[in-house]
Amino acid sequence: MAKAWRGSWGQGELYETLCLLVIGAGCYLIGSVLGLFEIAIAFFLRYGLLDLVLLTSCMGVALLGAIIRKSLTLRRAMLERDAAARQAEAIARHDALTGLTNRRYFVEALETLRGRMTEGRRGAVLLIDLDRFKPVNDLYGHAAGNAVLCTVAERLEALLPAGGVAARLGGDEFALLVPFTGSSENIKRLAQQMIASLTAPIAWNDGEVKIGATVGIALVTGDDDADALLHAADLAMYQGKREGRGTFRVFEDSMDTELRERAALEAELREAVESGEIEPFYQPVVSLPGRDCVGFEVLARWRHPTRGLLGPNHFIAIAEETGMIADLSYRLLRQACRDAVSWPPHLQLAVNIAPQQFQDRGLAQRILGILAETGFSPQRLEVEITESALVQDLEAARATLTSLQNLGVRIALDDFGTGYSSLYHLRELKFDKLKIDRSYVDTITLSEERAKLVDAIISLGRSLGLVTTAEGIETDASVDWLSGQGCDFGQGYLFGKPMPKEEVDSMLKAGAILQQDAPGIPAKARAPSIPENAIVRYGRAKAA
């Protein structure tokens, strides 16, 4: 582009010079033919003005040189100004890091394509969001992140069809504008190729890093503007994220409806957290094989004004994604401690802590503050965490867990057997209890392989000095088998469903009647309640 501009300037200068030469030659011919030069010379000689003429001519030549120099300087300044304008325009339309076009240029190209849509000519917007990009930045630094972004840009340009536009919209979000004819299957194949290409390892410092990509596709129509099309592609991409990442989805109208419903639910959830509509329910935890109630696990329930009583599967994931989970968890813990402070002192309270809360260095202090505020003993509290809370920052988790245990709070590793580095964490961190995930427990009487795994977990816990709790127990056969293998505690619908505080209070007030008519506990499971002089140690009830 710069060469073209310089060429145009050079052609203009040559044209002007030729014009001036032609004018000068014309003046010379006119003067010669009409004898004007002879008359002028005779006049100058007669009156002695020849020296003055020569002086004036020399000064004119100098002035002409100055004019030419000024003209050249002006031309150079104009060239530099045009080059700066072109550079500014390029910067305004391109990403400085990757060299791809930016959102502004992409939107303009998309609007241009919409204006040229014909019956046989179609187009598609492919929105690409990188998976696992943040850990690359966190683990290897921003230099590695920049290298990944540049590599992604190169791979996208290599796959870009003729006439297409590749852009970096911001952060780790990219987009392709692809014109095509015929079936949209070609676009789907292109999305699959992009995912495969971006999943390939990226070299970095004698090693390699791996990322992935999720793609949302929106077909270009003449009815929707650029912003609407990008929004549609974003909805499709988000749907792909929800369904497991590393895939592509084509926008459908139902996605927009679903997103609006989710946005409404988020707003309702935020109001529910602040107004206290979400309250703690309590599910009994019993000792095995005696089936004495030794405590309760706190489970969240939302009393929705129109949808009724909602379980955590309806709102906990949204709370985690929107950052409301910490506030919700602390409110539930505070209310649960207030509820349980008047219960018999041998009853324990188990609460779940979300992985995001472990990013808060003041987690232990906040829990201690709630315990002091409510008067609930730290020795009666058990905090349950999952392995996903540990893999993000093991050292931060270690410090938090140690602080809690120094207060007297016990720590349980929840959903044991579903993570991918359990043995490492058991070695590095000091837990008090293992909770066997319900996905293993509900099939132990049907699957020999699952039974072997549960037996191995119980034996592992025993060898490390840890007590074990089996979740999701629903049959007497499961109780008998788990007790025979040495499992310490059980939890599930066989012993009782999650219940509000009022039902727990009624159950506790019943005392001896509870042993005979406790709801949700079959006759075979009825057992004497734990005596008042029982000593609870890491959840085990033993006679004093």
pLDDT per residue as tens digits for the range 421-455: 557 677 777 888 988 888 888 777 777 887 888 88
* 79's tokens: 């060239």
221 and 331 within one domain: no
148 and 284 within one domain: no
429 and 313 within one domain: yes
Instruction: Residue count of the chain, please give it.
Output: 544
Q: Is the pLDDT of residue 354 over 60?
A: yes
Is residue 417 within 8 A of residue 387, CB to CB? The reply is no
pLDDT per residue as tens digits for the range 207-231: 888 899 999 999 887 677 888 888 8
Pairing of strands 308-310, 293-304: antiparallel
Task: CATH number of the domain at 381, please.
Answer: 3.20.20.450
341 and 197 within one domain: no
pLDDT per residue as tens digits for the range 470-513: 998 988 888 889 989 899 999 999 898 999 999 999 888 876 33
**Residue 87 has what pLDDT?**
66
Residue 474 φ then ψ, to 5°:
-130, -5
Kindly list the distances between the CA atom of residue 173 and the CA atoms of 102, 130, 322, 366, in Å, as whole numbers in the listed order: 11, 7, 20, 36
Place 419 in a pLDDT band, splitting at 50, 70 and 90.
low
Q: Is the pLDDT of residue 268 over 60?
A: yes
219 and 303 within one domain: no
320 and 215 within one domain: no
Domain range for 161 is 103-251
Task: CATH number of the domain at 136, please.
Answer: 3.30.70.270
Place 91 in a pLDDT band, splitting at 50, 70 and 90.
low
| Number of Cβ atoms within 10 Å of the Cβ of 472 | 18
The count of structural domains within the chain is: 2
* Closest to 294 (Cα-Cα) out of 445, 130, 420, 467: 467
Q: Which H or E element spans position 237?
A: helix 226-242
394 and 340 within one domain: yes
217 and 145 within one domain: yes
211 and 319 within one domain: no
What's the CA gap between 471 and 483, in Å, rounded?
Answer: 13
**Residue 34 has what pLDDT?**
81
Kindly report the average pLDDT of the chain as a whole number: 81
Dihedral class, residue 417 (left if φ above 0, else alpha if ψ from -120 to 50, else beta): left
Angle among Cα 514, 515, 519 to the nearest 5 degrees reads: 55
Domain assignment present for residue 1? The answer is no
Comparing 16 with 343, the larger pLDDT belongs to 343
